[in-house]
């Protein structure tokens, strides 16, 4: 995977100079993404049903849900705060000269919180699976698992069916991951070859500030949580290497979901907790996006000469926390969230166009942090539930 990552970067820099269209390599990555997407819905559904049936106690499921939401809320607040602090210190927008032509900028109105929560309940579970609506799938799977558990021991064969189906999907995931290096190579070659140094260099400072903020968040928030869970840091990052590379190269949390679920279970996270928390976090955990909002807000404000006062920066923190719920399950949530922030604090929406050229690179970083946050959360909540299992070698 690492070799494929570096080879893709090098190939992406070279192929344009050889007159080769980088898009020729895109199908290699698209095949990988499609294979992963093929697995996500049946894997999440089977593991959640099996996990909820194994827990049995509805009150315990409620405790897991509450602890998960507390973890996501707290880490999101810290994430956007870290993004704002680092950006205030390093000032990524100072000295940047780039065209302000933003005729294609689009502002997307976010859905209301009420419509989001009402939309969690599926009217047709089969359609939810077809559409890949993860929140509705989670809702139905948890309820079905609880119902199976309440049937008693004479219906254990139903539980065993979903348990076996989950094992089969995890095995299928392992088979698909054998193709991962080729997919990563194709994705990176296309990304680097398409965007290139010409787009990246003018905004290199913004990229570096985003990177620094992500590293600080990992050190301050995730490392203590990992230590609390009792998992050695070296073992954690070694086990999550393939998941991190998939998330980074694909810029898709969904692409890394199955690998992430397997990894945290091998690290000792309980199946009921990880089966609930990883799919939920894949949908609503946005630590990386929260940092992105903080950094890009300061960048845009500096570029346009706008003074973001302390009260406006506090408002950004609040919006980020609420938007992580208000935009969950909505495609292009990052754009919706940043539009909300810019509108509320008086930053021109034209600023979105300034970062559009490097958004793919920023998306790779924020997706990687989101996935790491899911893994850390699964271990943290498992520990809080006293349900950690021995680490698999």
For residues 117 and 163, the model is more confident at 163
- Per-residue pLDDT at 100 exceeds 60: no
Summarised one tens digit per residue, pLDDT across range 52-75 is 787 666 677 788 888 988 998 899
Is 262 a residue whose pLDDT tops 70? yes
> What is the predicted pLDDT for the residue at 101?
45
Mean pLDDT of the chain: 82
User: Can you give the pTM of this predicted structure?
Assistant: 0.79
Domains, in order of start, for the chain: 2-39+65-115+181-384 (1.10.3860.10)
Return the sign of the alpha-carbon dihedral for residues 371, 376, 381, 383: positive
Handedness of CA 290, 296, 300, 306 (dihedral sign): positive
Residue 154 backbone class (left: φ over 0; alpha: ψ -120 to 50; beta: rest) = alpha
For 234-262, what is the mean pLDDT? 87
Which tokens go with 98?
């780039």
Assess whether pLDDT exceeds 80 at residue 97: no
| CA-wise closest residue to 142 among 31, 56, 38 | 56
């Amino acid at each position: 995977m690492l070799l494929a990552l570096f080879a893709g970067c090098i190939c992406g820099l070279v192929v344009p100079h050889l007159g080769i269209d980088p898009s020729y390599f895109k199908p290699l990555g698209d095949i990988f993404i499609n294979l992963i997407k093929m697995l996500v819905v049946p894997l999440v559904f089977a593991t959640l049903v099996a996990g909820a049936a194994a827990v049995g106690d509805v009150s315990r499921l409620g405790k897991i849900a509450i602890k998960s939401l507390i973890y996501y809320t707290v880490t999101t607040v810290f994430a956007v705060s870290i993004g704002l602090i680092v950006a205030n210190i390093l000032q990524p927008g100072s000295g940047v000269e780039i065209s302000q032509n933003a005729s294609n900028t689009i502002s997307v109105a976010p859905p209301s919180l009420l419509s989001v929560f009402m939309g969690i309940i599926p009217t047709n579970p089969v359609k939810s699976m077809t559409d890949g609506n993860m929140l509705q799938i989670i809702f139905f799977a948890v309820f079905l698992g609880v119902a199976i558990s309440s049937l008693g021991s004479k219906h254990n064969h139903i539980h065993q069916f979903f348990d076996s189906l989950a094992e089969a999907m995890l095995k299928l995931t392992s088979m698909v991951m054998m193709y991962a290096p080729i997919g990563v190579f194709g994705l990176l070659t296309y990304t680097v070859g398409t965007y290139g140094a010409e787009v990246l260099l003018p905004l290199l400072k913004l990229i570096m500030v985003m990177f620094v903020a992500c590293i600080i968040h990992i050190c301050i928030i995730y490392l203590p949580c990992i230590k609390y869970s009792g998992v050695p840091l070296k073992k954690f990052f070694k086990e999550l290497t393939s998941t991190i590379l998939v998330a980074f190269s694909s810029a898709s949390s969904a692409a890394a979901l199955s690998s992430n679920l397997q990894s945290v279970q091998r690290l000792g996270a309980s199946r009921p907790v990880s089966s609930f928390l990883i799919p939920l976090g894949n949908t609503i955990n946005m630590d990386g996006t929260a940092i992105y909002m903080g950094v890009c807000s300061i960048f845009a404000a500096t570029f346009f000469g706008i003074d973001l006062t302390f009260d406006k920066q506090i408002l950004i923190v609040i919006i980020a926390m609420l938007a992580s719920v208000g935009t969950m399950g909505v495609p292009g949530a990052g754009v919706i969230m940043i539009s909300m922030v810019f509108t509320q604090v008086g930053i021109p929406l034209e600023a979105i166009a300034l970062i559009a050229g490097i958004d793919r690179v920023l998306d790779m970083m924020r997706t990687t942090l989101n996935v790491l946050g899911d893994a850390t959360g699964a271990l943290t909540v498992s520990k809080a539930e006293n349900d950690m299992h021995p680490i698999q070698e």
